[in-house]
Amino acid sequence: MSDTKTAERVMPGNFSSKEEYIIYLRHLFAYEFAKSNIPKNSSVLEVGCGEGYGTSMLSKSVAKIIGIDPDKDTISHASEKYGSGNCTFSAYDGTKIPYDDGTFDAVVCFQVIEHVKDDAGFISEINRVLKSGGILILTTPNKALRLKVGQKPWNRFHVREYYANELEDLLRNFQESKVMGIQGNNEIQKIETDRINQIQHIVKLDPLNLRKLMPNTLKSIAIKVLKRKKTAGSNDFLEKYSLKDFHIVNGNLEESLDILGLCKKIS
């Protein structure tokens, strides 16, 4: 696995800007929420485990967890770095989850559904491998905060993004489901809103989306240079911001950074 960070493969450590660190904390907050809502004796599946740090984190509080991801290099990296007696990793084809019906007590899936073409089929597969009474915890970026009305995702890896009501409709496959929001304090909200506005400005300057033609390596170098200029060599943000700066909201989800689905399979 490459050590190059992207918004799709968040990795802990060596943060070059407060914006990058806040994105990491957003991901970490979802795992902390899962820890609080999944019973300790559970068998858990993480779909789209990425780098594997979150899977490893959850392994400390559940009986067993398996992380799956379509990228074989990512799985090799995760297995080598985080594999343990109750934490394992496996590659899969991105469509068919390679486990029997009713295998898991819980499934977590963070920042993945926006990448999936057949999102309804994907949710159906998750429902299939859950036991009766099993839960799904899912997060995805909040379309209401990120995109203008009718705008396609500016993240080239995203097939679509979701309003809260669109995620609710997608999760109707479950007998019980609730959609909430993840928000930051006022300062976090402003930092994330400013970051999104900067991206929207770049999108406006590049209506033909020619930036997609730039090699990923060159993009990574450009992003790192810009972030270093912003941060000016300071990493005070590591001490300033923490998970305490984030919280769950049950209403007014339009300003949420991410939307979160909590679902239960009854039968």
Per-residue pLDDT, 211 = 54
CA distance to 37, 96, 111, 135, 139, per residue, from 129 (Å): 19, 10, 20, 11, 19
Taking residue 221's Cβ as centre, other Cβ atoms within 10 Å add up to: 12
Angstrom distance (rounded) from CA 38 to CA 175: 18
Domains and CATH numbers, the chain: 19-264 (3.40.50.150)
Q: Is 212 exposed, middle or buried (0-12, 13-18, 19+ CB in 10 A)?
A: exposed
Q: Is 36 exposed, middle or buried (0-12, 13-18, 19+ CB in 10 A)?
A: exposed
Per-residue pLDDT of the chain (267 residues), as tens digits, is 334 444 456 677 778 899 999 999 999 999 999 999 999 999 999 999 999 999 999 999 999 999 999 999 999 999 999 999 999 999 999 999 999 999 999 999 999 999 999 999 999 999 999 999 999 999 999 999 999 999 999 998 999 999 999 999 999 989 899 999 999 999 999 999 999 999 988 888 766 555 555 555 544 544 555 545 554 457 889 999 999 999 999 988 999 999 999 999 987
pTM reported for the whole predicted model: 0.87
Per-residue pLDDT, 65 = 98
Please compute Rg for the chain using Cα positions. Answer: 18
Per-residue pLDDT, 231 = 47
